Amino acid sequence: MSKIGISPTRRLTESAIFIAIALVLDFVSRVIPGMPQGGSVTLASLVPLLIISYRHGFKWGILSALVFGILKAILSNNFAWVPVQNFQSFALVALLDYIVAFGVLGLADLFRKPFGSRKYIGYAFSCVAVMFLRFLCHFVSGIIIWGVFAPEGVPNWLHSLLYNGAYMLPETIIATVVLVILARMGKFEEI
């Protein structure tokens, strides 16, 4: 069955289930305790969002990842850490650390397509690519908003690079390995 032949009800149901799985994995499978101002390493909690993109295309993937980002923002307590308590700071954190940062995960299908029949390489590359885009969102946010937490004498950009890299690199490696293993097992073949 092609992606075009999927009923809207099935697409919506699958996406809701995968978003729920991603949220549950995010909260219960933290490999290490969360970072002080947000960020954590999980057992591939974002893989379900990537699978939505592969199964239903990047537009639906972006929409689903945006829903995940909004729900994660609502359920997290990271807004209490925002150093400057004004609307602009909260809006930037919501946008950069949640909405855009997770929304870019929906682009996974676009990064996979150029690899055609070399699908495992495509899955690995697309996972690394979208996780890098997510890292860039957190990196920029770390410079603009979270830089006040940088130790004295450490530039904001370096603090943001090290802080966000400390959890994003292991998160990317874990997600890529799990994604490729699931793909090799045929657990989410394209529809």
pLDDT for position 2: 42
DSSP3 helix / strand / coil % (the chain, rounded to 5):
75, 0, 25
- Name the token pair of 129: 């690519």
- Positive or negative torsion for Cα 183, 130, 158, 34: negative
191 inside domain = no
- b/e per residue, 163-185, with b = 16+ CB within 10 A? bbeebbeebbebbbebbbebbee
Express each pLDDT in 130-143 by its tens digit.
Answer: 999 999 999 999 99
Q: Is the pLDDT of residue 19 over 90?
A: yes
38 inside domain = yes
How many separate domains does the chain show?
1
189 inside domain = no
pLDDT for position 80: 61
144 inside domain = yes
9 inside domain = yes
Express each pLDDT in 84-123 by its tens digit.
Answer: 667 787 888 888 999 999 999 999 999 998 887 788 899 9
Q: Is the pLDDT of residue 190 over 60?
A: no
136 inside domain = yes
86 inside domain = yes
Express each pLDDT in 29-78 by its tens digit.
Answer: 766 666 766 788 888 999 999 999 999 999 999 999 999 999 988 887 66
Q: What is the CATH number of the domain that holds 15?
A: 1.10.1760.20
pLDDT-derived band at 177 (thresholds 50, 70, 90) equals: very high
10 inside domain = yes
- Indicate the pTM of the whole model: 0.88
Q: Which residue has the tokens 């700071």?
A: 89
Q: Domain limits at 120?
A: 3-184
Work out the angle between the directed axes of helices 8-28 and 58-75 (0-180°, nearest 10).
40
